């Protein structure tokens, strides 16, 4: 009956390129396996689906600009973004201003809801991701498994993601009986962390909780080694999600922990494609020759676009698409997405569904890869299994 275009904004280049590493593979996989003959939408007619992927270049201003181009010039019917608040929020806000339906992944609920706390503040866009409290509970669960003095060093970058941590974590740490040593935000691209490391040593920090981009984190870890700072527990959000970033640490990555919002052992089977987390990871490794990576989870955007359009009574009418989004209740690769209850019942965030996550630990690889990730804590959904015991960081002797 025609063509429906979806736009997808991710960082393919720049400091956050590791988040976009699976983006082109996801488009290819859906083109080959789901969309090749078109899909039948809610009006009973078959449509060709075209996904236009655009590079945000890891720049929030450019995210907004390419979103605007996709909506105004390419005339996409649905837009999506993933790869952190810094990338997604500008796309969402552009889509709201231009009245384009959007379905997104990877904005923590705390950041999604900032300044959008009333019903009707968001009319066109929805998101599924984890919430800061669930992240902290997984972090703390991991930390409880290794003896420590409960003195945490906060190492948080001065960007949208770092501010989520700086705003949400101090109060939570306090409640849980942890003493926070906070040297303040460090700038994106910082190379010298010696003053921060000295402060951590002086204060007796045994737990480091980071939120950084991979290049900054690599600098920090190597300088810790030079200055003989050896915290038994090191957890870094964002930077340590990726094997490429762990490998950049050489032999200093064994035992580092991170949030695990996706893993081959995740128990979910997609109601849209019938694929399990393990099957998606295997397909990615087979097709690309690269190790599986957590952003494979963002295939959820493609699953959601497909499900929404299959239920849209008039795919040429954006209000009809919005009605279909409101009725979404599926299992995606990374877990359930239910937007039928608004606001989200656990936290009261509008146009949002909280996503389960676990705690992951990098260990020396047992097979073809230098490092493997094990799940060592699972707090938000008991069906996500623990695959190994937590251990302290294994510093080279």
How buried is residue 176: exposed, middle or buried, by Cβ count under 10 Å (0-12/13-18/19+)?
middle
Longest Cα–Cα distance in the chain: 68
In this structure, which topology does domain 133-263+358-377 adopt according to CATH?
Answer: Rossmann fold (3.40.50)
pLDDT tens digits for range 303-325: 999 999 999 999 999 999 999 99
The residues, any chain, with a CB within 8 Å of residue 222's CB and separated by 6 or more, are: 249, 252
How far is the C-alpha of 91 from the C-alpha of 77, rounded, in Å?
Answer: 14
Rounded CA separation 347/338 (Å): 14
Alpha carbon of residue 301 to chain centroid: 12
Write down the pLDDT at residue 397. Answer: 83
Nearest one of 211, 210, 234, 227 to 148, comparing CA atoms: 234
Cβ atoms within 10 Å, residue 315: 25
Given phi > 0 = left and psi -120 to 50 = alpha, else beta, which region is 95? alpha
Least Cα distance to 185 among 212, 149, 224 occurs for: 212
* The CATH number of domain 2-131+266-289+296-354 is 3.40.50.2300: yes
pLDDT number for residue 90:
98
The pTM score is: 0.93
> Cα(first)–Cα(last) distance of the chain, in Å?
66
Is the preceding omega at residue 37 within 30 degrees of 0, hence cis?
no
Q: What is the mean pLDDT, run by run of 10 residues, along the chain of 397 residues?
A: 95 91 95 97 97 96 98 98 94 98 96 93 98 92 96 94 88 92 95 97 98 92 96 95 92 96 98 98 97 96 98 98 99 98 96 98 95 97 97 94
How confident is the model over 51-75, as pLDDT tens digits? Answer: 999 999 999 999 999 999 999 999 9
Q: Which residues pair with 129 in a beta bridge?
A: 354
Handedness of CA 175, 178, 182, 187 (dihedral sign): negative
Other CB atoms closer than 10 Å to residue 286's CB: what's the count? 8
List 4's β-bridge partners, or say none.
49
Q: Distance between CA 47 and CA 115 in Å, rounded?
A: 37
Q: Residues with Cβ < 8 Å from 21, sequence gap 6 or more?
A: 242, 244, 290, 293, 295
Specify the domain boundaries for CATH 3.40.50.2300 within the chain: 2-131+266-289+296-354, 133-263+358-377
């Amino acid at each position: 009956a025609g063509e429906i275009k979806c736009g997808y904004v991710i960082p393919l280049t720049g400091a956050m390129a590791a988040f976009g590493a699976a983006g082109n593979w996801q488009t290819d996989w859906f083109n080959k396996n789901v969309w090749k003959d078109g899909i039948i939408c809610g009006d009973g007619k078959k449509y060709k689906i075209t996904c236009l992927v655009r590079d945000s270049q890891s720049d929030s201003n450019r995210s907004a600009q390419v979103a605007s181009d996709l909506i105004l010039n390419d005339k996409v019917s649905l837009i999506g973004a993933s790869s952190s608040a810094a990338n997604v929020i500008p796309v969402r806000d552009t889509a709201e201003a231009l009245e384009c339906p959007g379905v997104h992944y990877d904005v923590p609920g705390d950041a999604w809801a900032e300044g959008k706390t009333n019903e009707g503040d968001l009319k066109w866009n929805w998101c599924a991701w984890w919430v800061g409290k669930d992240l902290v509970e997984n972090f703390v669960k991991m930390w409880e498994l290794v003896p420590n003095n409960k003195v945490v060093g906060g190492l948080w970058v001065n960007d949208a993601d770092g501010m989520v941590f700086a705003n949400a974590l101090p109060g939570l740490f306090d409640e849980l009986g942890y003493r926070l040593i906070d040297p303040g935000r460090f700038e994106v691209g910082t190379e010298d962390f010696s003053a921060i490391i000295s402060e951590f040593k002086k204060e007796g920090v045994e737990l480091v909780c980071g939120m950084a981009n991979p290049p900054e984190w690599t600098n920090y870890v190597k300088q810790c080694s030079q200055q003989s700072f050896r915290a038994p527990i090191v957890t870094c959000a964002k930077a340590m999600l990726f094997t490429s970033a762990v490998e950049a640490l050489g032999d200093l990555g064994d035992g580092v922990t991170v949030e695990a919002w996706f893993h081959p052992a995740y128990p979910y089977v997609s109601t849209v494609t019938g694929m399990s987390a393990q099957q998606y990871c295997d397909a990615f490794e087979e097709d690309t020759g690269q190790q599986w990576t957590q952003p494979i989870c963002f295939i959820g955007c493609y699953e959601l676009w497909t499900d929404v359009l299959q239920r849209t009574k008039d795919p040429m009418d954006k209000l009809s698409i919005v009605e279909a989004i409101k009725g979404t209740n599926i299992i995606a690769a990374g877990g359930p997405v239910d937007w039928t209850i608004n606001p989200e019942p656990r936290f009261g965030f509008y146009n949002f569904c909280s996503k389960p996550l676990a705690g992951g630990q990098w260990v020396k690889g047992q097979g073809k890869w230098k490092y493997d990730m094990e799940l060592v804590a699972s707090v938000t959904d008991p069906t996500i299994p623990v695959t190994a015991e937590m251990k302290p960081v294994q510093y080279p002797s």
